[in-house]
Each structure stands twice: as structure tokens, then as C-alpha cells.
Amino acid sequence: MQKQKIRIRLKAFDYKLIDQSAAEIVETAKRTGAIVKGPVPLPTRMQRFDILRSPHVNKTSRDQFEIRTHQRLMDIVDPTDKTVDALMKLDLPAGVDVEIKLQ
């Protein structure tokens, strides 16, 4: 039988929040005796928007805005029931999106 692993992918706009959340997840998993691989920083996704400053003329005058989405990837190898319960009870900040896959 193949070993089970939990793959956790974190996404956030603020890199400080995502690093804090990743450290919290790693600490919780290690406390319950699981092996943690990561967090691995994935490429930052940048969306850029160009907006016209003037409502009527001056097409050459524009404002530029961007949204940066930071991502981290972690694998928890051989999780126990205790590990899964501890991760489910974990309270993370509101700005962090968490995707959990069981493989």
C-alpha cells in the first residue's frame, strides 16, 4: 500500500500572513509527529491593470495597479489521526486561502 500524504496549498495577497500561516501549520504537524516537507514558495502571480486617469480625453495618461498573489506548498507525509484533527482545529488568518488534498 502506498503512503498517504496531505498536500496543502496556501494563497494570500500579503506575504507576511502566508509565511506566518505556513509556520503555524508546520509547527502543528511536527508537534503531532508527522513529517513535513516544505513550505515551498511557488511563483508569485501578478495581475496588472491599466486604468485611464481622465474620463474623457488624454489616453496616454494612465494609472497602473497590480495584484500579487503569493503561494506556498507543503506536504505532510504519513499523517496520523491526531495530525488531521490538529490541522482541522487550526485557526488561520482571514486573508489566507487554504486548499487541502489527500493523496
- Of 72, 73, 70, 75, which Cα lies nearest the Cα of 29? 75
C-alpha cell at 59: 489616453
Range of the domain at 56: 3-100
CB atoms within 10 A of CB 71: 18
pLDDT tens by residue, 25-71: 999 999 999 999 989 999 999 999 999 999 988 889 999 999 999 99
Residue 86: pLDDT over 50: yes
List, for residues 1-23, the tens digit of each pLDDT value: 367 899 999 999 999 999 999 99
CATH for 84:
3.30.70.600
Q: Rounded to two decimals, what is the model's pTM?
A: 0.85
Please tell me the predicted confidence (pLDDT) of residue 65.
Answer: 97
CA pair distance 9, 75, nearest whole angstrom = 9
Q: Count the domains in the chain.
A: 1
